[in-house]
Structure formats: C-alpha cells, structure tokens
Amino acid sequence: MQPFDTQPGIQSVISGYTGGHTENPTYAEVASHTTGHTEAVKITFDPETISYAQLVEIYWRQTDPTDASGQFQDRGDSYRPVIYVNSPAQRQAAKASKAQLAASGQFDAPIVTTIEEAQPFYPAEEEHQDFYRKNPFRYQIEEMGGRQDFIQQNWHD
C-alpha cells in the first residue's frame, strides 16, 4: 500500500481486515459493516532500517486523524482510523506520536484515531492487494475523493 511499500526496510504490505468478530471475512462482508472489522494493512518491516515510530508518522500523513466516522469518501466503522499495536513498545511509540500530534495544534478538531491491540489479521482477496498498482485510474479517482486535497492542506513540509 502506497506509500509504505516505497520505504526502505519495508518487507511486505498486505491489505486485509482485523479487529472484528467474523473469521476469514470477505470484502463484501466487511463492506456491509456487520463483521466489526476495519480495513487495515499488515506491514512487515526491518526495525534496523525503519522504526515503528517512523511507520506511525507515515500513517498520520495518509489519514484524517480527526474523523472517527471513516476516511474521506470511505464512510463507516470499517474505515475508522486505528493504529494496531503488537507490543508495549509499539503502544508507547503510537501514544507518544498521537500526543505530539495533538499538542502540535495542527488540527482544529481532536485526534480521534484509536490505538488498539492487534487482533487476528485476515488478508483481503487478491484483487484488493496492491490496489493502486492494479487499478491506477480507479485509485486516482478515489484520491480525488478528498484524500489528496486533505494531505496537501494539512501536511505541507
């Protein structure tokens, strides 16, 4: 998932679903908002090359951390902003980063992204892997659904 898969030290990025109560859900089931799952990515990385804290910083710049009801054109609980953690060290890094972002005053609204323990992860169907590469035109249309403008307005480095 762009931009994670372009970073040095990223070994794999898998699109999928996590955090819900249905085992092995399909995209259609998750999209129905009945499984409790969120769409997510599972990132395997080399911590000698890229830190978990750096991954969290990249994450912030891809989402609207003030919108608990979804992300851009994707609405509903399955699109809520969540950072899943696998260890106390990851939890601490995510909490520190969230606190720093909240204290920065960069956003007028509160940071509502939750930090939750990682749950079983179910890879999405093959057609949903590397979506932006397989469907560049559709991905570009979705980017124009608000994400691109939001990133440009809120993350000017």
Encoded tokens for 11? 């070994």
Query: What was the pLDDT predicted at 53?
Result: 97
Give the CATH number of the domain where residue 30 resides: 3.30.1060.10
Amino acid at 107: F
| Sequence-ordered list of residues with C-beta below 8 angstroms from that of 5, at least 6 positions apart, any chain | 13
Query: What was the pLDDT predicted at 131?
Result: 62
Pairing mode, strands 82-85 and 114-117: parallel
Q: Is residue 155 part of a domain?
A: no
- Among candidates 84, 74, 95, 85, which has minimal Cα distance to 30? 74
* Total number of domains in the chain: 1
- Among candidates 44, 74, 51, 64, which has minimal Cα distance to 113? 64
Domain that holds residue 16: 4-143
Cis peptide preceding 81, ω within 30 of 0: no
Contact 81, 113 (CB under 8 A): yes
Q: Is residue 119 part of a domain?
A: yes
Query: What was the pLDDT predicted at 1?
Result: 46
Query: What are the percentages of helix, strand and coil residues in the chain, rounded to 5?
Result: 40, 20, 40
| Sequence-ordered list of residues with C-beta below 8 angstroms from that of 34, at least 6 positions apart, any chain | 22
Query: What was the pLDDT predicted at 69?
Result: 87
Q: Is residue 69 part of a domain?
A: yes
What is the pTM (predicted TM-score) of this model?
A: 0.85
Q: Is residue 148 part of a domain?
A: no
Query: What was the pLDDT predicted at 153?
Result: 83
CB atoms within 10 A of CB 10: 19
Q: What is the chain's pLDDT, residue by residue, as a tens digit (157 residues)?
A: 457 888 999 999 999 999 999 999 999 999 999 999 999 999 999 999 999 999 999 999 988 999 998 888 778 888 899 999 999 999 999 999 999 999 999 999 999 999 999 999 999 987 777 766 655 666 666 665 677 788 888 876 5
Q: Can you spell out the DSSP letters for 53-103?
A: HHHHHHHHTTS-TT-TTEETTEESGGG--EEEESSHHHHHHHHHHHHHHHH
